[in-house]
Structure 1
Amino acid sequence: MTSMANLSLSKVAPDMSKLEPLDGSNYRRWSQKLLIFFEYLEIDYVLFEDPSKFTQIPATTIQIDITPARTSSSRPTAEEIKKYEKDNKTVRGHLLNHMVNGLFDLFIDFKSSKEIWDILFKKYGSDDAGRKKYVVGNWLRFQIQDDKPIMEQVHVYENLVGTIIAEGMKMCETLQANVLLEKFPPSWSEYRNHLKHKKKDMTLQELISHMRTEEANRLKDKMSTLPLDISKANLIESNDHGKKEKFRKKVKKLDGNDKNKGGKFKGPSKSDEKFKKKQVSCYVCGKSGHKAYQCRHRKNKDQKIGDDAQVNVTEHDNVIAAVIETNLVENKTEWIVDSGATRHYCNNKDLFAEFEETNGTEPVYMGNQATAGVHGKGKVFLKLTSGKTLSLSDTLYVPSLRRNIVSGVLLNKVGLKQVIEADKIIISKNDNFVGKAYLSGSLFVLNTVCASVNGCESGSAYIIESADVWHSRLGHVSLSSIKRLKTTGHFKMTNMMKGFKCPVCVEAKLSKQPFKSITSRSTKPLELIHSDLADFKNSISRGGKKYYVTFIDDYSRYTKLYLLNSKDEADQMFMIYKTEVENQLDRKIKRFRSDRGGEYSTTNLKNFCEEHGIIHEYSAPYTPQQNGVAERKNRTLKNMMNAMLLSSGLPDNMWGEAVLSACHILNRVPHKGKDKTPYELWKGYAPNLEFLRVWGCLAKVGLPDFKKSTIGPKSIDSVFIGYAQNSAAYRFMLLSDSSIMESCHAVFFEDEFPLKKTKEIIKSSDMSPVEIPSTSVVAKTIDKIESRRSKRSFILSTSKFLSAQDL
């Protein structure tokens, strides 16, 4: 039995060495081939039997426990266990040796063949759904092409159908035939419609039989339509030294045997049956006069490259194409200058600037009597290395050609002179150099830079000045100006290539790119918050503030403004702002956008945003336009603040109150593009504008009850400077001591500005403006002066201080 297994293994092993290693994608074919191999060797049971059944039983256990129940006939014998171990090693070795290196390293530690087999099945063989989708996708994507033999493609379709059926999916014969009917190429559309009108359903094999007959008829009709008066010119250059030597040897042999008495060779006589001329016919083309190995129609006839150059030219009334049989290398970008072609040909559809589909009925006849279908025509533009552009109109699209062809005849018709010298063709027009073609592999290849530039006019071939040349001639003017000159007919040129950039213009005229207006905004509050910081360090406010920071909601444009002592307070203010608005609106901030200032790049702010899931967006360096919402808001606030200070006459250190009031007002003014105010979008209801007053006007504020007297004024003069933040009150600066107070009991004189009048009086009297101190400052000054106790009599000069009454 062992010798038979070894004999069988020696027979099959060479075939198994050709088995493709398992890489995961070929598991089904790989497993079936190995299983057939194991079944032939009768060792396939190793893959399905339980390995524990063949384990060795310890000798001590056998000696102690000898009972009828333990000595069952199902227990394998020692010989069976030994055979299993040997077969397991054989199967394991085949499984591992037919894997790729990655899988081999993964399963090398597994000793059981069944374990390896089961793991592979679970990993690669159990995905039936995925494999079914894959084969069905290949079946649906199948399409018959015109440029390939029909029957070969039909066999591919049959294999796809067989694969689907093998996966367990049912498909009736009618469905198979009808799907194949829809896969017909465009040239078979009439035949497809003819078959659709038949009342009887066809099976797949019946349809294939019809297609085979139709293909034979089409080939017969194509051959019959070839004109009989085709003139052929074949130029063949070959080395016949071998044939001459062979002929000389035959002559020498005849000279030694059949010489006459005169020493001259006598040819065969007509009576000699041995030298009678036989009528030989070719087995390839069926014509007489030559044998099959001499026939030029043989498909497998060797074609030598180099000395045996063959150029076949076939003439027809409509189309002439030259076939150079010495170079079969496909190149879809090179253009061959051919003096025997009557049309321009292109095999790459992407090179056409203008393209028109055709029905494919017009054929192109080759020198070897083959034909190729024309699938379209259009215009191609070739940019030559000289800077000029060659336009090829009515170029035929023939995808089956290996090379693109430029007709030398058509170039000559439009006045392009072609001179062959020193292995190159020089092309010129009116003694002006146009371009050249260099010799490459017995072919003249046109020296081009690129193809498929837009723009053309009528004519088979002509020269156009390139657009970049005119751009340089006109002193690098703008492209729009060049286009206007071309439109008005001042000169002819090619259109600018898409994406054209002049390096000189980029270097000399580079400027910042314009920023488009925002086309989309957030649809809900707090989805995006804009922020920016403004600097007033040269003018400190009354409270010692030097900066302010704004937070603007992108949806409503509602703005919150905070005054700062230093820039490092910006992150703390954002935390305060986040806590307030999220609690009030019961929503979360999603994104936060700012510039790249140091106040927004702190570790504290970064950790805070990461902790709360806020995306911090930065604008590009030196590009404030990307944070345009906050930048424009700051500009508006500063303009309003400056106008309010100038109109009221208040000093510059009151900019803090002014900018807070400006922000309060802007929240109640509709933004462009919105019919509602930011306040209404933020709060949900319209604001009340009746409480607004002119900033910096005179106001008489009512005194508290404990300061009122029976005789005397009940109010005090002050200047209106803003609105209370979290109270229904106004803010005022008292004229008496410049202190600030809040009150809701006041009468406003909105056309009077007391500090503005003061500035006018000071300006008219040429007095320098003096800051108004409070009474407490005066009292402290008096105390200090009295504490000196000088021996001289001290008189306080009140002319240095101006009270509110004096102003």
Structure 2
Amino acid sequence: MTGNLKLLINFVEKFLGTVKFRNDQITPILGYGDLVQGAVMIKSVYYVEGLNHNLFSVGQLCDVDLEVAFRKSTCYIRDLKGNDLLTGYRGTDLYSITLQDTNCPNPICLMAKATSSQAWLWHRRLSHLNFDTINLLSKNDIVVGLPKLKFVKDHLYSSCELGKAKQKSFHTKLTSSSKRRLQLLHMDLCGLMRVASINGKRYVLVIVDDYSRYTWTHFLRSKDETPKVLINFLRLVQRGLQAQVRVVRTDKGTEFLNQTLHAYFAAEGILHQTSVARTPEQNGIVERWNRTLVKAARTKLSTAKLPLFFWAEAIATACFTQNRCNAPLRKEDVRS
């Protein structure tokens, strides 16, 4: 800021706030302009009537990606490449810079900030790119015609808010609702796989116990096999673990919503919960296990350079090892 209006060109008269001096005197900021001294241009310099010294704002210099370094008797203003733009010297407790003394042969523009209309014009031209990336492109001179200015997002853009809106994330539960094994089972049918397994299977039924996170996998040739396989599994696991399944949670796939399973759940006293359409987060535990198993199987096949029709064996192996490595410790574990 400066108190000498004669130093400014392109002056815009506008009230921009007030400045409070040491003696508690308050003076208005009456406008801004560009200050040119020799090869140096400083954009958007405030005019404060009655100010006896020209002042630099270190914070604003840093905001436009300039580095300000202070030493015992000198100070430096540098660009990000380490080039010295201006050098100042310490008097008593203040550092002063004489703009006419700069030795740089090329013009220097400090505080080069794009106008609001310029910033939003380039934001639209670059397909509503975020401003951090626009400034990176400008600094590295990557885009032809993009000026080397500081682009600032000065307000929210309604079209970006509407076009880039996304569903609010579901918060992770810190404690499990299940108090014992088999109280709640998460289920999902993963498939259709592009390549049939060596035994002709194209689907994998993944079942996760909510309490222990123990996981079972069953491989199917078609969706129609799901009710029979699931009923046999529930009978076997309940008898083997001497525990009753209380709740089964699935999506709304027809492999789970059918008369066969409906009648079985009603006869056994099992509550069938389903997630809302197009909301896989509500069945997120088994959805994440699907991804974990498929990624592990894909990696194993790639490492061993095996053909894709071994995917079922790879998933079964991944499930076996995951159950023994990643299951959280419980007082009563499903493996006991």
1:268-326 Cα deviation digits (max 9, x unpaired): xxxxxxxxxxxxxxxxxxxxxxxxxxxxxxxxxxxxxxxxxxxxxxxxxxxxxxxxxxx
Counterpart selection for 1:552 from 208, 211, 223: 208
Counterpart selection for 2:292 from 632, 636, 652: 636
Counterpart selection for 1:574 from 217, 224, 230: 230
Give the equivalent residue in structure 2 for 1:648: 304
SS in 2 for 1:541: coil
Instruction: Verify the 8 A CA contact 1:525 1:682 in the aligned structure 2.
Output: yes
Give the equivalent residue in structure 1 for 2:187: 531
Written as runs of structure 1 = structure 2, the 5 A alignment for 1:32-111 is none
1:349-405 Cα deviation digits (max 9, x unpaired): xxxxxxxxxxxxxxxxxxxxxxxxxxxxxxxxxxxxxxxxxxxxxxxxxxxxxxxxx
**Which whole-Å CA distance do the structure 2 matches of 1:603 and 1:634 have between them?**
26
Give the letter for the 1:666 counterpart.
Answer: Q
**Which whole-Å CA distance do the structure 2 matches of 1:628 and 1:558 have between them?**
15
Give the equivalent residue in structure 1 for 2:335: 683
Counterpart selection for 1:614 from 248, 267, 270: 270
Written as runs of structure 1 = structure 2, the 5 A alignment for 1:709-728 is none
1:388-433 Cα deviation digits (max 9, x unpaired): xxxxxxxxxxxxxxxxxxxxxxxxxxxxxxxxxxxxxxxxxxxxxx
Q: CA deviation at 1:510?
A: 3.8
SS in 1 for 2:255: helix
**Which whole-Å CA distance do the structure 2 matches of 1:508 and 1:657 have between them?**
43
Q: CA deviation at 1:681?
A: 1.0
Written as runs of structure 1 = structure 2, the 5 A alignment for 1:417-428 is none
**Which whole-Å CA distance do the structure 2 matches of 1:667 and 1:581 have between them?**
16
Instruction: Verify the 8 A CA contact 1:530 1:629 in the aligned structure 2.
Output: yes
Give the letter for the 2:274 counterpart.
Answer: Y
Q: CA deviation at 1:508?
A: 5.5
Q: CA deviation at 1:504?
A: 9.1
1:772-798 Cα deviation digits (max 9, x unpaired): xxxxxxxxxxxxxxxxxxxxxxxxxxx
1:457-490 Cα deviation digits (max 9, x unpaired): xxxxxxxxxxxxxxxxxx9xxxxxxxxxxxxxxx
**Which whole-Å CA distance do the structure 2 matches of 1:665 and 1:517 have between them?**
25
Give the letter for the 2:166 counterpart.
Answer: S
**Which whole-Å CA distance do the structure 2 matches of 1:509 and 1:543 have between them?**
45
Instruction: Verify the 8 A CA contact 1:670 1:676 in the aligned structure 2.
Output: no
> Is 1:518 the counterpart of 2:161 in the alignment?
no
Q: CA deviation at 1:676?
A: 5.6
Give the equivalent residue in structure 2 for 1:80: none
**Which whole-Å CA distance do the structure 2 matches of 1:537 and 1:552 have between them?**
20
**Which whole-Å CA distance do the structure 2 matches of 1:548 and 1:637 have between them?**
10
SS in 2 for 1:637: helix
**Which whole-Å CA distance do the structure 1 matches of 2:263 and 2:251 have between them?**
18
Q: CA deviation at 1:675?
A: 3.8
Q: CA deviation at 1:683?
A: 2.6
Q: CA deviation at 1:537?
A: 3.3
Quickly say closer, same or farther: Cα 1:648–1:606, change in 2 above 3 A: same
**Which whole-Å CA distance do the structure 1 matches of 2:260 and 2:233 have between them?**
15
SS in 1 for 2:309: helix
Q: CA deviation at 1:548?
A: 0.7
1:731-778 Cα deviation digits (max 9, x unpaired): xxxxxxxxxxxxxxxxxxxxxxxxxxxxxxxxxxxxxxxxxxxxxxxx
SS in 2 for 1:598: coil
**Which whole-Å CA distance do the structure 2 matches of 1:656 and 1:505 have between them?**
44
> Is 1:663 the counterpart of 2:319 in the alignment?
yes
Structure 1, 588-597 or 532-541: larger mean CA deviation? 532-541
Written as runs of structure 1 = structure 2, the 5 A alignment for 1:354-369 is none
Q: CA deviation at 1:582?
A: 0.6
Written as runs of structure 1 = structure 2, the 5 A alignment for 1:195-210 is none
**Which whole-Å CA distance do the structure 2 matches of 1:676 and 1:610 have between them?**
30
Give the equivalent residue in structure 2 for 1:626: 282
Written as runs of structure 1 = structure 2, the 5 A alignment for 1:699-738 is none
Written as runs of structure 1 = structure 2, the 5 A alignment for 1:213-228 is none
Higher relative contact order (CA 8 A, sep 6+): 2
Give the equivalent residue in structure 1 for 2:67: none
Instruction: Verify the 8 A CA contact 1:548 1:562 in the aligned structure 2.
Output: yes
TM-score (norm 2): 0.50
Give the letter for the 1:683 counterpart.
Answer: R
Instruction: Verify the 8 A CA contact 1:529 1:592 in the aligned structure 2.
Output: yes
Written as runs of structure 1 = structure 2, the 5 A alignment for 1:221-370 is none
1:146-191 Cα deviation digits (max 9, x unpaired): xxxxxxxxxxxxxxxxxxxxxxxxxxxxxxxxxxxxxxxxxxxxxx
Q: CA deviation at 1:669?
A: 0.9
**Which whole-Å CA distance do the structure 1 matches of 2:243 and 2:208 have between them?**
15
**Which whole-Å CA distance do the structure 2 matches of 1:504 and 1:652 have between them?**
45
Structure number with larger C-alpha Rg: 1
**Which whole-Å CA distance do the structure 2 matches of 1:676 and 1:670 have between them?**
12
**Which whole-Å CA distance do the structure 2 matches of 1:553 and 1:585 have between them?**
12
RMSD: 2.3
Paired residues, number: 179
**Which whole-Å CA distance do the structure 2 matches of 1:506 and 1:651 have between them?**
46
**Which whole-Å CA distance do the structure 1 matches of 2:228 and 2:272 have between them?**
15
Give the equivalent residue in structure 2 for 1:542: 198
1:609-653 Cα deviation digits (max 9, x unpaired): 112111111111101011000000010100110111111122111
Give the letter for the 1:549 counterpart.
Answer: L
**Which whole-Å CA distance do the structure 2 matches of 1:509 and 1:641 have between them?**
34
1:203-256 Cα deviation digits (max 9, x unpaired): xxxxxxxxxxxxxxxxxxxxxxxxxxxxxxxxxxxxxxxxxxxxxxxxxxxxxx
Quickly say closer, same or farther: Cα 1:665–1:507, change in 2 above 3 A: same
Instruction: Verify the 8 A CA contact 1:582 1:589 in the aligned structure 2.
Output: yes
Instruction: Verify the 8 A CA contact 1:637 1:662 in the aligned structure 2.
Output: yes
Provide structure 1 residue ranges, at least 5 long, that are not aligned to the other structure.
1-474, 476-502, 685-807
Give the letter for the 1:528 counterpart.
Answer: L
1:479-515 Cα deviation digits (max 9, x unpaired): xxxxxxxxxxxxxxxxxxxxxxxx9998555421111
Written as runs of structure 1 = structure 2, the 5 A alignment for 1:460-539 is 510-521=165-176, 522-539=178-195
Give the equivalent residue in structure 2 for 1:599: 255
**Which whole-Å CA distance do the structure 1 matches of 2:303 and 2:162 have between them?**
48
**Which whole-Å CA distance do the structure 2 matches of 1:608 and 1:628 have between them?**
25
Give the equivalent residue in structure 1 for 2:62: none
**Which whole-Å CA distance do the structure 2 matches of 1:512 and 1:627 have between them?**
16
Quickly say closer, same or farther: Cα 1:644–1:508, change in 2 above 3 A: closer
Give the letter for the 1:569 counterpart.
Answer: E
Provide structure 2 residue ranges, at least 5 long, that are not aligned to the other structure.
1-119, 121-157
Quick one: percent identity of the two aligned structures?
32
**Which whole-Å CA distance do the structure 1 matches of 2:165 and 2:322 have between them?**
38
**Which whole-Å CA distance do the structure 1 matches of 2:335 and 2:193 have between them?**
34
**Which whole-Å CA distance do the structure 2 matches of 1:596 and 1:644 have between them?**
31
TM-score (norm 1): 0.21
